[in-house]
Amino acid sequence: MSARPPLPRRQHAAPPLAFSPEVAAALEQGQPVVALESTIITHGMPWPRNLEVAREVEDEVRAAGAVPATIAVRRGEIRVGLKPAAMEALAREEGALKLSRADLAAALASGATGSTTVAATMICARLAGIEVFATGGIGGVHRGAERSFDISADLTELGRTAVTVVAAGAKAILDLPRTLEVLETQGVPVIGYGTDAFPAFWSRESGLRAPLRMDRPEQIAAAHRMRARLGLEGGQLVANPIPPEHEIPAERLDPLIAQAAAEAEAQGVTGKAVTPFMLGRILELTGGDSLEANGALVRANARLGAQIAAALAALD
């Protein structure tokens, strides 16, 4: 009796990427490209400021010599680079999902509209061949995580996906010491850009030291390439402090964060809803100052991201 021939292996289709003409041309020509997340558009700021900041951030990337690639999910595709009309439609979208690693594939399969968090943007950037991603602040370990186990998927994604992420540290509403501990466990280099201090989003210093320091984009690019040569998984976190003129001091913010956290717990806010709730309350409690600071730090991160992307392109 002859042996049954082996079944053919199932061939996986290519990921559903849809590039804007500008981003496609830049990648084809080896120009520097910076990925940008879209959760800040759908969940981070109110209309119309969300659209204004998204456009300002893209302009900063272009002014610094790179091409912006804002990433979102729509009609079963990962959109890598949004045309102006598509960005405005996303900014007005009221039912957009907030997508991370756990639900990215399901949203694509169902044709839903969604914005990408840090984790999801890293995944999409890697699929698109983009090595640098600029955002506002990463997620992390939430306060009270010893009871809730609420830890952002951003931290594990940084430990597994080879993208350099530029952020103003982790969001100040988080447990920053525990966030740094988890990043260390995940083997993620945390690089203070031009500083020995780990920034706290709206504040330039958190009271914690940055594990590493680099002062030039070229150093960060070289470290990114060296990780690839060593076969190391995961990315780098570049902690870029908010410009001094836009900083909100920690002594002003800390009691407001504590108040917002207490309100979230009292109202039973959990999971993905915590961060938008907290950011919204802090916006109200600071009289709008946190919104302007948020825009300033994202623009600064976009500029640095473009410089790092240009340095990487120069190494190729």
Q: Catalytic residue positions?
A: 37, 171
DSSP type of residue 111: T
C-alpha closest to that of 178 among 156, 212, 145, 201: 145
Residues 7, 12, 14: CA angle, nearest 5 degrees: 160
What is the residue whose two structure tokens read 């915590």? 274
| Cβ proximity of 100 and 120 under 8 Å | yes
> The dihedral of CA 78, 273, 176, 289: what is its sign?
positive
What's the token pair of residue 92?
């007005």
Backbone φ/ψ region at 78: left (φ over 0), alpha (ψ -120 to 50), beta: beta
Backbone φ/ψ region at 169: left (φ over 0), alpha (ψ -120 to 50), beta: left
Backbone φ/ψ region at 81: left (φ over 0), alpha (ψ -120 to 50), beta: left
What's the token pair of residue 77?
């595709």
| Cβ proximity of 125 and 163 under 8 Å | yes
Give the CA radius of gyration of the chain: 19
Residue 125 to residue 134: CA distance in whole angstroms: 11
What's the token pair of residue 86?
């598509």
Residue 294 phi, psi (nearest 5): -60, -45
What's the token pair of residue 55?
């456009």
The CA distances from residue 307 to 60, 64, 218, 300, in Å, are: 11, 7, 8, 11
